[in-house]
Amino acid sequence: MSQIPELTGGRALEHDIAVEPGNGFAVKNQTALMTALSGATNLLAFKSEAITMAATHTLLVTGTAGSNQTKITSNFLIVDPTGNRNLDLPAEASCTGLLLLIMNNATASSSETITLRNDATDTILTIDEGETGLAFCDGTTWRGLVGGNT
């Protein structure tokens, strides 16, 4: 269980679909469910936050952030590495189910790279300028992929 309830801003999916105990939504089949959810509010509403790195930077999910640390409160991180920098992810045990989208928003004219690492400093992926990385934690391992911004 992820320990980051504020990532969704405390918002809940609001709907009027009946729920059957032990069986989930009373609405069955994809078309009926999508029709019922079409009036729902706060569906997939995410926040983002900007991070400017001055050195190796560490992401936290609990505690108080110090120098070169950020306690994340969103799933979408817009990062300016200000050079080639390491971005260290939180410990896997506290991040079960956590999905992070990390955009390299470098503003310099030279190539600036973000090396995304786990808490053991193993490289998960490298995010070049103009690319976005996706990192997912299953509670024991961080996994990632990277692609170009469009």
DSSP secondary structure string, 21-83? TTTEES--SHHHHHHHHTT-BSTT---EEEEE-SSSEEEESSS---TTEEE---SEEEEE-SS
For the cut 80, the answer to whether the pLDDT of residue 17 exceeds it is no
Residue 4: predicted pLDDT:
46
For the cut 50, the answer to whether the pLDDT of residue 10 exceeds it is yes
pLDDT digits (tens, 9 = 90+) for 34-75: 666 666 655 555 688 999 999 999 999 999 999 999 999 889
Residue 39: predicted pLDDT:
63
Share of the chain above pLDDT 90, in %: 57
Residue 19: predicted pLDDT:
73
